[in-house]
Amino acid sequence: IINFFGLFWLFFGECKGLSFFDKIRLSLKSFSIQRFWSVIFRKIKIRKKEFNSINTHKEINFSDYFVSNNEFENCISENIIKHIPESVFTKEPSSAEDGIWIGFDIYNSKKADLISRYTSGKNGKWYSVQHGGGYDQYLVFPHEKMEYEVSDGFVSWGWASKNSSKLTFLPSPHLVNLRKMNVDSRQKKQILYISTEHFAYFLRLHSTLRPELQFSYLREQANFIANLSEEVSKDFVFRASIQFGWNNLEYLKREDRLPKTISSINEDIFSRILKARLVVVDHLATSYMESFALNIPTILYFKEEMFGYSAKFKPYLMSLKEVGIYHEDSFSAVRFLNENYHKIEDWWASEKVQNRIQDFLSEYGRVNENWFVAWKSFSDQLLHPTF
């Protein structure tokens, strides 16, 4: 697979929504016969060096380089060579490939060396890509800035930042693929509630759920469930979150608020979303944007003190509040659901609601059927930049 990467000046790694075929089509113009032969000859050269290095490695005597002064050091001297991976002695240092890598898999340690080699040449570049929600929405979201500051460029799903000129906004292939599913929620019954859970200890500056607010968050959940009408409760499904030690399900059980139907974290979330007549999300994340893209009726609620949002994001959030999509607490959200349960599809299909959804997605999750044209233009610009 490493040889395969080397055949292109431009290569797409992890980009949410791009299929293998999409990546090949976008990279095709950058294929080079010259690079092909360069990769072959370099591989032969590396194999030859590895063979010679292995033979040299077998003859290494650590005691020739290390003088032992006690019993522990004697033990180290006799055994350390046996326990150092052979690749330490045989692997050639990374050599530059001089290419452009597009993707967020730089954060995958298994690929970090490969990507750094691919992009470390004179003209090598790495463009990171948005891979979820929260970007440009949270009040404090440090890894967003890290992603577009440490990379040579950043592809967003629509938003731009006045603090950086590195951003390129393109339609999200992931959200476009969801929109193509064309879900008809009128034929569904389930009310899907998507929860979250965060670390038990404060480990970074991030305006998401802090440890001291976790129980307040759980009380909001319990209140929402407790105030569901009997009719709504019959079709209510609670989607559990990754467990970080808060025992949220045990808390709901103790409060006698545990839903009858619980969706396991091991179950694919999309399999549940596609069965839903309505989705309820109680936090800032990716799920509500995916639900928007699927055009499934959605209710979003959370308190600002639990999930702080940016000044730029606030008008967009308040526009959703005006039409009943966003609510500032569980009381408002559950009351709206109970009152509109029988006409939820009509509410969602109304022109006013649909316009707000489209306005929101145009900024934070662009859905465009001609997305490939935009990505192709972006690829061509990288290969043949104009100044």
Which 3-state string (H, E, C) describes the chain?
CHHHHCCECEEECCCCCCCHHHHHHHHHHHECHHHHHHHHHHHHHHHHHHHHHHHHHHCCCHHHCCCCCCHHHHHHHHHHHHHCCCHHHHCCCCCCCCCEEECCHHHCHHHHHHHHHHHCCCCCEEEEECCCCCCCCECCCHHHHHHHHHCCEEEECCCCCCCCCCEEECCCHHHHHHHCCCCCHHHCCEEEEECCCCCCCCCCCCCCCCHHHHHHHHHHHHHHHHCCCHHHHCCEEEECCCCCCCCHHHHHHHCCCCCCEEECCCCCHHHHHCCEEEEEECCCCCHHHHHHHHCCCEEEECCCCCCCECCCCHHHHHHHHHCCCEECCHHHHHHHHHHHHHHHHHHHHCHHHHHHHHHHHHHHCCCCCCHHHHHHHHHHHHHCCCC
Average pLDDT on 190-205 reads 76
Residue 123 has pLDDT above 70, yes or no: yes
Give the lowest-confidence range in 79-83, 137-141, 365-369: 79-83
Q: Is residue 294 pLDDT above 90, yes or no?
A: yes
User: Mean pLDDT throughout 21-42?
Assistant: 75
The amino acid present at 8, given as its one-letter code, is F
Give the model's pLDDT for residue 78.
78
Residue-level pLDDT at 40: 65
Structure confidence by residue, pLDDT tens digits, 127-140: 999 988 888 888 87
Q: Which residues contact 320 (CB under 8 A, 6 or more apart)?
A: 300, 326, 356, 360
**Residue 85 confidence (pLDDT) above 60:** no
* Proportion of the chain above pLDDT 70, given as a percent: 70
* Contact predicate 216/170, CB 8 Å: no
Of the options 3.30.420.40, 3.90.76.10, 3.40.50.2000, 3.40.1410.10, the CATH number for the domain spanning 181-364: 3.40.50.2000
Q: How many CA atoms lie within 13 A of 9 on its CB side?
A: 14
Question: Mean of the pLDDT values across residues 119-147?
Answer: 82
Q: For residues 4 and 347, which has the higher predicted lDDT (pLDDT)?
A: 347
Q: Which residue has the tokens 């969801």?
A: 178
Q: In what order do the strands lie in the sheet with 326-327?
A: 261-263, 236-239, 190-194, 276-281, 298-301, 326-327
Cα separation, 278 vs 341, whole angstroms: 9
Instruction: Give the highest mean pLDDT range of 10-14, 66-70, 137-141, 286-290.
Output: 286-290
Give the residue extent of every domain in the chain: 181-364
Residue 205 has pLDDT above 80, yes or no: no
The answer on pLDDT for 359 being more than 90 is yes
Q: Which amino acid is at 341?
A: Y
What rounded mean pLDDT belongs to the chain? 80
Tell me the average pLDDT across 59-88: 70
CA distance 197 to 218: 9
Rounded to a whole number of angstroms, the CA Rg of the chain reads 26
Using 50, 70 and 90 to split pLDDT, how confident is the model at 1? very low
**Segment of 88-97, 223-232, 352-361 carrying the highest mean pLDDT:** 352-361
The pLDDT value recorded for residue 151 is: 85
Mean pLDDT of 44-50: 54
